[in-house]
């Protein structure tokens, strides 16, 4: 009986260690992958053609997404399947501009999109496409939706970025029926303002970003 208890205890301990190891492995893999993806992204921009991060990869970098206020930049992969999302946020294949102005990017809540909860309305996102073009998007909305509410995936009338991750952020079990959505629209300068007024607005936004970074 004592031997049986010791075997069971050892088995439980081993299982616990395996769970802990897996918990650490996922974020480590996500962080390490971004280094390879950054290299592939530079190659993509220089060669003007998609470059796989490793020979056996079934995805490739398609964009760089920067959260200006957070000082965080991520390489976005083609496709939002499980294999791609293990290494970085993924762009849904059927949401490619100009055929669909609503560019939808998904990411895991416990790795690459963990900071999505800190994104606020009015903040700017910078989207660099694989052709080198850079566009700025202003966050206009954050919301929580059920997975059956697919309206956020539909085409929009204006160029839009839609970022999606599972919710709540601190959930222990993976998946779940809720999604956290951040939506941003193309930031078009208001040329109706005078140059001095535009400069004043830019300066004000810079001060606000600096204040948020300090606190």
| CATH number of 174's domain | 2.40.260.10
Consecutive 10-residue averages of pLDDT for the chain (215 residues): 43 37 49 84 95 93 97 96 91 81 96 96 97 96 97 94 97 91 88 52 54 48
| Secondary-structure percent of the chain, ordered helix, strand, coil, rounded to 5 | 35, 25, 35
Beta bridge partners of 137: 125, 186
Number of domains in the chain: 1
Question: Which residue range(s) make up the domain with 145?
Answer: 2-214
pLDDT of residue 175: 85
pLDDT of residue 83: 84
Q: Specify the pTM.
A: 0.75
Q: Which helix (H) or strand (E) holds 44?
A: helix 2-47
Residue with tokens 């059927």: 94
Q: Tell me the CB-side half-sphere exposure of residue 198, using CA atoms within 13 A.
A: 8
């Amino acid at each position: 009986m004592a031997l049986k208890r010791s075997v069971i205890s050892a088995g439980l301990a081993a299982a616990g260690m395996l769970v802990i190891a897996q918990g650490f492995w996922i974020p480590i893999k996500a962080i390490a992958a971004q280094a390879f993806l950054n290299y592939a992204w530079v190659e993509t921009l220089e060669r003007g053609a998609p470059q796989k991060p490793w020979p056996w990869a079934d995805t490739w970098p398609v964009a760089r997404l920067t959260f200006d206020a957070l000082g965080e930049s991520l390489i976005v992969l083609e496709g939002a399947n499980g294999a791609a999302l293990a290494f970085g946020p993924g762009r849904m294949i059927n949401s490619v501009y100009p055929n669909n102005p609503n560019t939808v990017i998904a990411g895991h809540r416990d790795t690459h999109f963990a900071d999505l909860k800190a994104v606020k309305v009015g903040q700017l996102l910078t989207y660099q496409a694989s052709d080198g073009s850079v566009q700025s998007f202003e966050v206009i909305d954050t919301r929580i939706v059920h997975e059956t509410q697919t309206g956020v995936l539909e085409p929009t009338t204006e160029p839009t970025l839609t970022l999606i991750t599972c919710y709540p952020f601190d959930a222990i079990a993976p998946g779940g029926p809720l999604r956290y959505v951040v939506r941003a629209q193309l930031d078009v300068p208001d040329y109706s303002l005078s140059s001095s007024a535009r400069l004043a607005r830019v300066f004000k936004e810079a001060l606000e970003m600096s204040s948020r970074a300090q606190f």
